[in-house]
């Protein structure tokens, strides 16, 4: 994990990251819970989508990736532009041979996906910066209108000691009685200026079973910019990524009891 943390003005300071409860955030876990991490960028550009796709697909870093059309490709672009739910749907995918990494591209959106095993923030952040660079090099008149850094985490008893929702640092009661199963909870808050954090906690009844892990709880953490955000240069996006990653760490570790964090922290 990175060593940057948020100050009250939304800037960066060096040193340990600190959670909302005031405890230090570990630099490394023995077993992370990340099953997918991704960055989505929504944008406008004067470059025609066909040229943009070709420029991105032919970049040397992604030349070995297979190419495939996504379901939204079959919907006429004029309809996609009218429908808010379709406007930012990717239409084209580049997929690494190992299927660990994928790039999804649409006329107004690009996203970079890393599936487990997670490579750590220092390496992943460089991959994300690479995507940012390629977009700015490939698109003229580019304005980014939304950024979203999202981490999907799945906990298991064997790796994380989480037997269910009840083992998270989360209390849900109805009429005074605790609710620890059949849970699907969503909440959001401001992470830092122009940026929100949305967290979804779900028990197995609400997510597709994962064949590679006995998942007993899922934590989906999305750090995203609010309406009105604009970025027209790479550095502002680089800076936002570091802030967003620190905010993601705060949200994640607030879900774990101190004793759970201690048991997971690498020596």
The DSSP string of 148-206 is: EEEEEEEE-HHHH---SGGGSS---EETTEE--SS-EEEEEEEEETTEEEEEEEE-GGG
* Arithmetic mean of pLDDT, 246-266: 92
Which residues are 98's β-sheet partners?
none
Backbone φ, ψ for residue 79 (5° rounding): -75, -40
Instruction: Give the separation between CA 199 and CA 224, rounded to whole angstroms.
Output: 11
Spatial separation of the C-alpha atoms in residues 179 and 241, rounded to whole Å: 35
| pLDDT per position as a tens digit, 35-78 | 999 999 999 999 998 999 999 999 999 989 999 999 877 777 77
Cβ atoms of 241 and 40 within 8 Å: the answer is no
Is the Cβ–Cβ distance between 11 and 17 less than 8 Å? no
**Residue boundaries of the structural domains of the chain:** 18-264
pLDDT digits (tens, 9 = 90+) for 184-217: 999 999 999 999 999 999 999 998 877 677 899 9
pTM: 0.89
CATH fold, domain 18-264, is Creatine Kinase; Chain A, domain 2 (3.30.590)
pLDDT for the residue numbered 256: 94
What pLDDT band is residue 14 in, cutting at 50, 70 and 90? Answer: very low
Alpha-carbon gap, residue 6 to 30, rounded angstroms: 25
Pairing type for strands 173-174 and 92-95 reads: unpaired
pLDDT confidence band for 21 (50 / 70 / 90)? low
Does the pLDDT of residue 263 top 60, yes or no? yes
């Amino acid at each position: 994990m990175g060593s940057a943390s948020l100050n009250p003005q939304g800037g960066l300071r060096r040193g340990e990251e600190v959670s909302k409860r005031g405890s230090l955030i570990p630099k490394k876990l023995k077993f992370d819970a990340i099953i997918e991490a991704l960055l989505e960028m929504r944008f406008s550009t004067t470059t025609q989508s066909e040229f943009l796709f070709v420029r991105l697909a032919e970049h040397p870093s992604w030349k070995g990736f297979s190419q495939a059309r996504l379901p939204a490709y079959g919907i006429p672009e004029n309809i996609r532009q009218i429908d808010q739910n379709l406007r930012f749907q990717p239409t084209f995918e580049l997929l690494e041979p190992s299927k660990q990494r994928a790039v999804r591209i649409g006329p107004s959106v690009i996203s970079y996906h890393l599936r487990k095993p997670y490579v750590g923030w220092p390496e992943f952040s460089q991959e994300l910066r690479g995507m940012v660079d390629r977009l700015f090099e490939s698109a003229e008149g580019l304005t980014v209108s939304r950024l979203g850094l999202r981490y999907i985490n799945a906990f298991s008893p064997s790796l994380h000691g989480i037997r269910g929702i009840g083992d998270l640092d989360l209390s849900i009661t109805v009429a005074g009685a605790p609710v620890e199963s059949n849970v699907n909870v969503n909440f959001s808050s401001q992470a830092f200026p122009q940026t929100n954090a949305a967290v979804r906690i779900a028990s197995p009844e609400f997510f597709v079973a994962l064949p590679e892990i006995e998942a007993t709880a899922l934590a989906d953490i999305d750090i995203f910019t609010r309406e009105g955000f604009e970025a027209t240069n790479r550095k502002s996006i680089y800076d936002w990524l570091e802030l967003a990653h620190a905010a993601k760490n705060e949200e994640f570790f607030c879900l774990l009891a101190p004793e759970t964090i201690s048991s997971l922290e690498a020596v």
